[in-house]
Amino acid sequence: MKLVSLCLLVAGAMPAVAASAPALFPKPLHIVRRVEDPFVKKAIVVDQYCAGDRVVTVSGDRVTIVDYAQQQVTEINRAASTYSITRFDEIARAALPAAAAKSAAAPKVTPLGMKSSAAGRSADSFEIDGGRIKIVAGIDRSVALSRDAVEALIGAAYPGVKRPEHEALLGVAAAPHNGGRIAANAAAAPAEYGLPIEQTITVRNEDGTNAVTRISIVRFDNDLPPPAMLAIAPEAKRVESRVSRFSQEMHDADTIPIAPRRP
């Protein structure tokens, strides 16, 4: 259940990041997120630095660098003096089981009007109800982003799996046209998507209980990450990534030899 919530927070169609394509974030965007996860007793605050084709997430001693141009994820653990590098295709293979479970039904979208966000800013709010997963989202339309940039921020970009809830969230993030209706060509607009500043994600469990994750952007500016934050210490040891370990464990579980029965 935690995996579903995290997928909605942070990893789909690949964003257009070819060498000739414009950068995901031509203007730097630094956001500070507060995450209230049902599996963690206290709120977690993370910094995300978005610039060019990279999204750098900092949470305590851990730094995660997602490079859409290089198609790889670098994870640095400063406390343990370790790092790992994982290719997008490795992550995509590990995400295949989640793709098979994707629902084909389009979520129901209900406008909720303008509300105040945790950052004290006005947000255009919507309820996105996909049955098992419901999202109440707030969009800050004072920030203009491309569709690809928003996909990266909400976890819908390759190598993740884009779910119907992601598509609905992208739909409400698109700038309204024609009397409040979303234009048919909104997906082609280069920078007409607002910033999803609030998300309350409710996962309805089969036993009748709910798991609720709240994600709020409490502040944003145009700061760049300190260069020292991106550097890998010379003494740091390269280790296997968590995704690689998980994939290997799943492979091993599927290939455990079964001893023949004795006659």
Q: Kindly give, in sequence order, each residue whose CB lies less than 8 Å from that of residue 69, ignoring residues fewer than 6 positions away.
A: 17, 19, 52, 53, 54
Domain tally for the chain?
Answer: 1
Helix (H) or strand (E) holding 92: helix 88-94
pLDDT of residue 181: 40
On whether residue 255 sits in a domain, the answer given is no
The CATH number of whichever domain residue 189 belongs to comes to: 2.50.20.10
pLDDT of residue 247: 53
CA distance to 97, 185, 245, 248, per residue, from 252 (Å): 16, 46, 10, 6
What type of residue sits at position 99? A
pLDDT of residue 179: 36
pLDDT of residue 94: 78
pLDDT of residue 20: 58
On whether residue 252 sits in a domain, the answer given is no
On whether residue 253 sits in a domain, the answer given is no
Collapsing DSSP to helix, strand or coil, 221 comes out as strand
On whether residue 247 sits in a domain, the answer given is no
On whether residue 259 sits in a domain, the answer given is no
Structural domain containing residue 7: 2-242
On whether residue 105 sits in a domain, the answer given is yes
Tell me which residues of the chain have a pLDDT lower than 50.
1-19, 99-101, 178-189, 250-263
On whether residue 129 sits in a domain, the answer given is yes
On whether residue 251 sits in a domain, the answer given is no
223: which 2 tokens? 């700061």
pLDDT of residue 92: 87
